[in-house]
Amino acid sequence: MKLSRDAMALFVVLLVCVLVIILLTPIGFETRPQSDLMTLGYVAIGTIFTGLALFLLSIGFLFRRVRLASSLAIIASILFFVPIIGDRAGAFFSLPIPPAINMLEYLLVVVLFATLYLASRVYRKSTAASKQPMDSGKQTPQ
């Protein structure tokens, strides 16, 4: 299926989101030890995995069910503000935020806003397209 310009932009932004999220983990630049994780930090980990799964599902559905994909991207983007705000408030780790994580979180906020914008545009266009009447090929009598 050929994607619209907005859907293709959403695809690229979703890939950037997934990349930045991976870089925010211990696989990437997270240097704080897991032993310093507070109780609310475990909630953040669950939120991060849920959001990441929704982003990956959104990428998969983007080629078949654009409306569902954009809805999942909106939900995942909103979910990711919880761990970012919690990390800024110091609710997840007893150690300060490392500089690399700090920069990546700012980048993620920008990418999340771009995702929200593009996903809402794709959703609106797919909703408008689904509400247009189908041409059955019959001519109406005059």
Tens-place pLDDT, residues 97-125: 999 999 999 999 999 999 999 999 999 99
pLDDT beyond 60 at 138: no
Backbone angles phi, psi at 93, to 5 degrees: -125, 150
d(C-alpha 126, C-alpha 133), whole Å: 14
- 43 within domain boundaries: yes
- 29 within domain boundaries: yes
Give the count of domains, the chain. Answer: 1
- 11 within domain boundaries: no
- 49 within domain boundaries: yes
pTM confidence score: 0.88
Full residue range of the structural domain in which residue 91 is found: 20-127
Confirm if 62 and 10 have CB atoms less than 8 A apart: yes
Q: Say what the pLDDT of residue 128 is.
A: 81
